[in-house]
């Protein structure tokens, strides 16, 4: 019969429509926008073919650990005992070299006494209008000092005044990185051999090595 | 199985056809052909005077009936000539490409057009003319295509500099160690970077009008004639587009109508042109990876795949090259096939939009896409711009769990083991979604009436016009690179090359459903391979941000959802590609658009365009 195909197709639409309400019944009283409901609605095992939409901003999908949006700089925690707030960046220059849109500007620090370069950035700028969120800087940083952020809600009223991030705006405590990427930061710490910065760990190991022979000689 | 070496994708295992072909050709044209003996190069160099004859012989006698890619290279400072590079294939037998080249001086820059041999050379030669300034004698419609008439210079030439030009190659010296931040747009864009013609003054300048576009329609109707009163004609020129980006992108078609029937059609593009290839030549090899995402942004994973393969072929010319480990190949194919599913769901959904069924079918079609993108996001870090493949492997192994980390207010968390997620997605949700789409649309009388017999592309024409992917296969040509010139682990996977025989819109819709089903079949075979290889390395060697890429040329091609995506990369041994060309299926498939539309009603044009499935990010590059 001519038109049967269209009718059957409409049946699919009707089923979708009904499914949406049938699915909602199970959330009656409990609310549709809870974590538990979200698991059911957005999980891979969701049975229903009802409405699939996430109602932003009343609910948002939490992003996974590897999500990348605008880099930030890792610093020591502000309550760190030895060097509170110290930059992890050593201004080695790998991130500006690998950055595809060339949105990273670093002024390498110089030691005021000797005039020689010292391993910390004097200025660090990222033009977030240029940044393409590729994550190569974080991937190739040998010091785990630049990481990709998760906060994607960065709308501002004025492009010219707010979209070049300076060092202060970019810097975030190490504890923040641990909170948004628990497994990755743990893997990195394991590779470094501790939770601190690579260089700090090296110095500590060196000090320990230096302390050990004197101890031994004292004993003998 | 796990320890089995991956099929040689570096092109080493394939028998070299060049010597054989060269012998056959030199018998006929003793002075016209010679082997390309430069280090890292292969193929045949043809004297320009004999180019058409040799090309005809290649097509008629030696069976190379499919021109895949035609592009130009500027060897400024390396011989100071321009070179046209052609990649041709045997579509019936399959097998690797035959490369042949023709040289021309930079100043005179003239070569014979091959449009008489392969009509598919049309848009590609226009692109080479536009961007590289080679004039093709015998081309019926040789004018700019991506840039506008009146543009000064040919931007892919090595001595052409863009506005805000900073330095020939990245990384720029101004970024480190004395990196004082500045905005490029605060500089004068028309500073010393831009050159004007000698007699040019900005005062009193009027941009050239669009008559040349209309003149190119080749129907003998001038604008003046149409505009003049009292002329009795039923012919009419209609401009379709440039469209709003939410349809297919900023694409424009100029059609000549006789009543409601289309007499000729001219695609106008370039509104999204950013000279991707020039950017690619400024980039270092690794820097270009995220830029490939932005070509066909629906299927960034397979774009990555093609580019990684091309550069790996170059790396393979060096001594210490190691092919990607097995698990990396499994993951690459997993991503590529997911991408195909995503792309075809998208294509079907938006074909229905083009037919006038606004957004209900499209939203049903792309529902499952969300879950696939969630998987991409958890693995690669981004939903669309994945930037996932690396030379010699992939960025990171699959995560253990698909898990959200709450940070913002109202964040809702999903938390599932990745393998369970994939398992239910591949075995339950995707097949169910395809079947539902099938039930929903295939038998619909409206769909059948609008699509059957419309936009027919016969097989000979599909081959001649260099169409690729679903467009080619819906015309009854079972050509799929995954089978005919296999790469990665496709040889060990069990799947069929989908083919349909009518070559109309309806078949191009059906073939996409078929291909999704075949992709699901492949995905099902990948699950046990993923489990078996768990914990194995995902990248060969050490990951370097500036790998040493040996001198030479390479052409890496993959069967992208939209057709053959090829990357022609030339390295001169430095950090950056000397030439980087993208053989974009969205672009080349449009060569046949005019032929498909002729004789149909104007309302069908958009449907035909939808059935080709283009993405303007790739078309315009």
How many residues in total does chain A contain? 220
Domain annotation covers residue B282: no
Alpha-carbon Rg for chain B, nearest whole angstrom, is 25
Number of domains present in the structure of chain A: 2
- What's the confidence (pLDDT) of residue B588? 92
- What's the confidence (pLDDT) of residue A198? 84
Domain annotation covers residue A208: no
pLDDT in tens, A99-133: 999 999 999 888 888 888 888 888 899 999 899 99
Closest CA to B568 of B77, B11, B55, B86: B86
Domain annotation covers residue B469: yes
B187 reaches A (C-beta below 8 A):
no
B565 versus B258: which is more confidently predicted? B565
Residues 546-575, chain B: which have Cβ within 8 Å of A? 546
Domain annotation covers residue B612: no
B545 with A45: Cβ contact below 8 A: no
User: Is A34 in the same domain as A10?
Assistant: yes
How far from B173 is each of A146, A161, B548, CA to CA, in Å? 20, 25, 20
Rounded CA-CA distance A161/A33 in Å is 36
User: Is A43 in the same domain as A74?
Assistant: no
Q: Which of A35, A54, A96 sits opposite B413 (nearest CB)?
A: A35
pLDDT in tens, B492-548: 999 999 999 998 999 999 999 999 999 999 999 999 999 999 888 888 877 788 888
Closest CA to B364 of A109, A91, A12: A12
Domain annotation covers residue B172: no
Domain annotation covers residue B202: no
| Nearest chain A residue to B402, by CA | A64
CB pairs under 8 A between A and B: 206
CA distance B377 to chain A (A): 6
A98 reaches B (C-beta below 8 A):
yes
Rounded CA-CA distance B389/B359 in Å is 33
**Last-in-domain residue among A23, A45, A61:** A61
Domain annotation covers residue A89: yes
Domain of A122, CATH number, reads: 3.30.70.3270
User: Could you tell me the residue range of the domain that residue B65 belongs to?
Assistant: 18-137
CA distance B589 to chain A (A): 29
- What's the confidence (pLDDT) of residue A196? 84
Asked if the model's pLDDT at residue B360 lies above 80, the reply is yes
Using DSSP, state whether A216 is helix, strand or coil. helix
User: Is A17 in the same domain as A105?
Assistant: no
Asked if the model's pLDDT at residue B7 lies above 50, the reply is no
B414 with A39: Cβ contact below 8 A: yes
Q: Which of B286, B405, B442 sits opposite A64 (nearest CB)?
A: B405
A58 reaches B (C-beta below 8 A):
yes
Asked if the model's pLDDT at residue B414 lies above 50, the reply is yes
User: Is A109 in the same domain as A191?
Assistant: yes
Strand boundaries in B24-143, DSSP class E = 33-35, 44-46, 66-74, 81-89, 98-105, 110-112, 135-137
A61 with B395: Cβ contact below 8 A: no
Q: Which of A2, A65, A117 sits opposite B445 (nearest CB)?
A: A2
A63 with B377: Cβ contact below 8 A: yes
B387 reaches A (C-beta below 8 A):
yes
User: Is A13 in the same domain as A54?
Assistant: yes
- What's the confidence (pLDDT) of residue B188? 67
CB B154, CB B131: distance < 8 Å: yes
B370 with A52: Cβ contact below 8 A: yes
Domain annotation covers residue B529: yes
User: Is A73 in the same domain as A57?
Assistant: no
Q: What is the reported pTM?
A: 0.89
Domain annotation covers residue B545: yes
For residue B3, the Cα-to-chain-centroid distance in whole angstroms is 33
pLDDT in tens, B577-594: 999 999 999 999 998 888
- What's the confidence (pLDDT) of residue B380? 92
B170 with A39: Cβ contact below 8 A: no
pLDDT in tens, B238-281: 888 776 544 677 888 888 887 788 888 888 888 889 999 999 99
Q: Which of B162, B165, B176 to mutate to test the interface with A (most CBs of A within 10 A)?
A: B176
Label residue B3 by pLDDT band (50, 70, 90): very low
Render the burial of B356-366: b for 16+ CB within 10 Å, e for the rest: ebeebbbebbb
A10 reaches B (C-beta below 8 A):
no
Label residue A5 by pLDDT band (50, 70, 90): confident
B324 CB burial (10 A radius; 0-12, 13-18, 19+): buried
Specify the range with the lowest mean pLDDT, choosing from A100-109, A144-153, A158-167, A181-190: A158-167
Label residue B193 by pLDDT band (50, 70, 90): low
Domain annotation covers residue A169: yes
Asked if the model's pLDDT at residue A218 lies above 60, the reply is no
Specify the range with the lowest mean pLDDT, choosing from B217-226, B285-294, B482-491: B217-226
Label residue B39 by pLDDT band (50, 70, 90): confident
User: Could you tell me the residue range of the domain that residue A1 belongs to?
Assistant: 1-61
B176 with A4: Cβ contact below 8 A: no
pLDDT in tens, B423-445: 988 998 899 889 988 988 888 88
Using DSSP, state whether B393 is helix, strand or coil. strand
Asked if the model's pLDDT at residue A157 lies above 90, the reply is no
Q: Which of A43, A125, A153 sits opposite B414 (nearest CB)?
A: A43
Number of domains present in the structure of chain B: 2
- What's the confidence (pLDDT) of residue B8? 38
Please name every residue paired with B72 in a beta bridge, in sequence order, or none if there are none: B84
Label residue B336 by pLDDT band (50, 70, 90): very high
pLDDT in tens, B68-122: 999 999 999 888 899 999 999 988 888 888 899 999 998 889 999 999 999 989 8
Q: What is the mean pLDDT of chain B?
A: 85
B396 with A66: Cβ contact below 8 A: yes
Domain annotation covers residue A201: no
Render the burial of B125-156: b for 16+ CB within 10 Å, e for the rest: bbbbbbbbbbebeebeebebbbbbeeeebbbb
Domain annotation covers residue A217: no
Render the burial of B194-226: b for 16+ CB within 10 Å, e for the rest: beeeeeeeeeeeeeeeeeebbebbeeebeeeee
Q: Which of B175, B285, B384, B403 to mutate to test the interface with A (most CBs of A within 10 A)?
A: B175
Please name every residue paired with A107 in a beta bridge, in sequence order, or none if there are none: A123, B178
State the average pLDDT over residues A132-136.
92
CA distance A111 to chain B (A): 14
Q: What percent of chain B has a predicted confidence (pLDDT) above 90? A: 36
């Amino acid at each position: 019969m001519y038109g049967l195909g269209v009718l059957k197709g409409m049946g699919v639409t009707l089923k979708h429509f009904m499914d949406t309400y049938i699915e909602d019944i199970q959330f009656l009283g409990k609310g549709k926008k809870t974590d538990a409901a979200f698991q059911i609605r957005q999980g891979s095992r969701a049975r229903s073919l009802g409405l699939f939409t996430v109602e932003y901003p009343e609910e948002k999908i939490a992003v996974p650990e590897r999500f990348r949006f605008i880099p930030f700089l890792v610093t020591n925690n502000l309550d760190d005992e030895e060097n509170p707030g110290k930059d992890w960046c050593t201004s080695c220059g790998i991130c500006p070299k690998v950055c595809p849109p060339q949105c990273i500007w670093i002024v390498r620090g110089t030691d005021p006494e000797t005039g020689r370069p010292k391993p910390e950035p004097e200025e660090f700028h990222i033009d977030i209008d240029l940044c393409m969120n590729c994550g190569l800087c974080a991937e190739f940083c040998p010091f785990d000092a630049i990481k990709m952020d998760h906060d994607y809600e960065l709308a501002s009223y004025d492009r010219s005044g707010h979209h070049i991030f300076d060092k202060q705006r970019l810097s975030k405590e190490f504890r923040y990185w641990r909170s948004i990427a628990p497994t990755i930061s743990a893997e990195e710490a394991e590779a470094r051999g501790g939770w601190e910065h690579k260089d700090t760990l090296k110095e500590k190991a060196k000090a320990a090595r230096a302390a050990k022979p004197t101890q031994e000689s004292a004993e003998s | 199985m796990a320890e089995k070496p991956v099929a040689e994708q570096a092109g080493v295992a394939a028998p070299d056809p060049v010597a054989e072909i060269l012998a056959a050709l030199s018998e006929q044209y003793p002075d016209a052909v010679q082997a390309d003996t430069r280090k890292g190069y292969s193929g045949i160099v043809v004297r320009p005077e004999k180019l058409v004859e040799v090309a005809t012989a290649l097509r008629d006698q030696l069976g190379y009936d499919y021109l895949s890619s035609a592009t130009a290279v500027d060897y400024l400072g390396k011989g100071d000539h321009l070179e046209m590079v052609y990649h041709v294939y045997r579509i019936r037998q399959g097998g690797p490409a035959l490369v042949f080249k023709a040289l021309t001086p930079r100043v005179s820059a003239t070569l014979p057009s091959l449009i008489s041999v392969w009509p598919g050379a049309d848009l590609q030669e226009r692109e080479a003319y536009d961007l590289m300034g080679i004039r093709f004698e015998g081309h019926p419609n040789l004018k700019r295509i991506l840039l506008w008439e009146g543009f000064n210079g040919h931007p892919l030439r090595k001595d052409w500099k863009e506005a805000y030009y900073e330095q020939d190659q990245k990384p720029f010296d101004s970024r480190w160690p004395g990196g004082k931040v500045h905005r490029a747009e605060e500089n004068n864009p028309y500073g010393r970077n831009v050159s004007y013609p000698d007699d040019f003054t900005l005062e009193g300048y009027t941009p050239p009008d669009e008559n040349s576009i209309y003149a190119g329609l080749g129907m003998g109707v001038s604008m003046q004639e149409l505009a003049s009163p009292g002329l009795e004609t039923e012919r009419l020129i209609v401009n379709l587009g440039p469209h709003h980006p939410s349809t297919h992108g900023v694409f424009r078609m100029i059609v000549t109508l006789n009543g409601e029937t289309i007499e000729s059609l001219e695609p106008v593009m370039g509104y999204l042109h950013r000279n991707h290839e020039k950017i690619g030549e400024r980039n270092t090899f690794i820097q270009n990876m995220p830029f490939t995402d932005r070509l066909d942004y629906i299927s960034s994973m397979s774009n990555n795949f093609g580019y990684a393969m091309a550069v790996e072929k170059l790396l393979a010319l060096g001594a210490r090259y190691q092919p990607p480990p097995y698990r990396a190949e499994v993951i690459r194919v997993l991503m590529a096939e997911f991408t195909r599913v995503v792309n075809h769901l998208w294509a079907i959904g938006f074909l229905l939009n083009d037919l006038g069924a606004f957004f209900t079918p499209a939203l049903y079609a792309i529902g499952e896409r969300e879950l696939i993108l969630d998987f991409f996001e958890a693995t690669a870090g981004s939903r669309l711009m994945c930037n996932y493949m690396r030379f010699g492997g992939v960025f990171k192994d699959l995560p253990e769990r698909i898990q959200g980390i709450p940070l913002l207010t109202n964040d809702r968390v999903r938390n599932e083991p990745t393998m369970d997620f994939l398992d239910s997605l591949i075995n339950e949700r995707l097949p169910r979604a395809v079947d539902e789409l099938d039930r929903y649309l295939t038998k619909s009388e409206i769909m059948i009436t609008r699509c059957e017999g419309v936009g027919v592309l016969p097989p000979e024409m599909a081959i001649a016009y260099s169409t690729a992917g679903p467009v080619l296969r819906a015309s009854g040509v079972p050509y799929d690179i995954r089978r005919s010139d296999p790469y990665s682990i496709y040889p060990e996977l069990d799947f069929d090359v989908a083919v349909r025989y009518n070559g109309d819109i309806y078949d191009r819709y059906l073939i996409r459903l078929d291909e999704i089903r075949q992709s699901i079949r492949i995905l099902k075979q990948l699950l046990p391979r993923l489990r078996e290889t768990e914990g194995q390395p995902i990248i060969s060697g050490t990951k370097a941000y500036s790998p040493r890429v040996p001198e030479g040329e390479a052409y890496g091609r993959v069967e992208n959802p939209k057709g053959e995506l090829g990357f022609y990369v030339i390295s001169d041994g430095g950090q950056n590609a000397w030439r980087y060309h993208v053989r974009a299926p969205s672009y080349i498939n449009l060569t046949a658009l005019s032929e498909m539309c002729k004789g149909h009603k104007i309302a069908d044009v958009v449907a035909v365009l939808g059935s080709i499935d283009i993405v303007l990010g790739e078309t315009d590059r």
